[in-house]
Amino acid sequence: AQSVSQHNHHVILSEAASLELGCNYSYGGTVNLFWYVQYPGQHLQLLLKYFSGDPLVKGIKGFEAEFIKSKFSFNLRKPSVQWSDTAEYFCAVIPGLTGRRALTFGSGTRLQVQP
Amino acid sequence: NAGVTQTPKFRILKIGQSMTLQCAQDMNHNYMYWYRQDPGMGLKLIYYSVGAGITDKGEVPNGYNVSRSTTEYFPLRLELAAPSQTSVYFCASFDHSRGGGENTGELFFGEGSRLTVL
């Protein structure tokens, strides 16, 4: 079974600082990868996703993520965070070709941006 | 469209009580899921369904049951509630047909149901 690890449980940044959230997965085959965001009091929303092709994917609100197959990683980045980016971020994986048709989520990273 | 609707939003149960969390979607999605979210643990899949009449266990199915008699509804039943079931529950749906035969993972989530078992 696949698993997802997010290294940082709680990150505190000042506005305009750069962000990088780590995500590693364990699965030997082809995978589809995702980042979801959950703003305070809201449900999860898709931030970006990777299926194939260019390993650098761009999502909404200036976020991007890079898939590095050799490192089994899919780290999320943003050059300059804003107070409104305060939220919890979840990395998720699903087998690309076979396997259960549901996502496996990481434990989440809580991002707090201070004005 | 209302999207994915969950009820109730909050509920307190006593140990041993039973209840049903309701989930409805009006997008005609064939895939539906129940996840539970615990602090620092991410989302764990409880049950899922790929269509009416078809359900399957996820990672943490013990203590729960589901049914899927129609495309729209996917209720989650808790029998003999235990403190370990205190959590936030999310229902989600996905339109498999748009994925071209593959679950591309863009789930639509409900707003969640916060359950406390005392």
- A83-96 residue pLDDT tens: 999 999 999 988 76
Q: What is the pLDDT of residues B11-39, one digit of tens each?
A: 999 999 999 999 999 988 888 999 999 98
- Is the pLDDT score of A100 beyond 60? no
Task: Give me A48's structure tokens.
Answer: 């970006």
pLDDT tier at A103, thresholds 50, 70, 90: confident
* pLDDT of the residue at A98: 54
Interface probe, candidates B29, B43, B66, chain A, greatest A C-beta count within 10 A: B43
- What's the rounded Cα separation, in Å, for the pair B54 and A47? 30
**Span A55-83, mean pLDDT?**
95
Nearest Cα of chain A lies from the Cα of B23 at a distance, in angstroms, of 14
* pLDDT of the residue at B71: 94
Cβ atoms of residues B93 and B29 within 8 Å: yes
Give the residue carrying structure tokens 């197959």. Answer: A69
Cβ within 8 Å, pair B40-A43: no
Cβ atoms of residues A76 and A21 within 8 Å: yes
Q: Is B48 on the interface with A (CB under 8 A)?
A: yes
Cβ within 8 Å, pair B103-A42: no
Query: To the nearest whole number, what is the mean pLDDT of chain B?
Result: 89
Cβ atoms of residues B37 and B50 within 8 Å: no
Please, which residues have CB within 8 angstroms of residue A39's CB and are 6 or more apart in sequence? A45, A86, A87
Closest CA to B37 of A30, A1, A97, A107: A107
* pLDDT of the residue at B91: 96
Q: Which three-class secondary structure state does DSSP give residue B13?
A: strand
Please, which residues have CB within 8 angstroms of residue A97's CB and are 6 or more apart in sequence? A29, A30, B102
Task: With beta carbons under 8 A apart, name residues in chain A contacting B110.
Answer: 43
User: A51: which DSSP letter?
Assistant: -
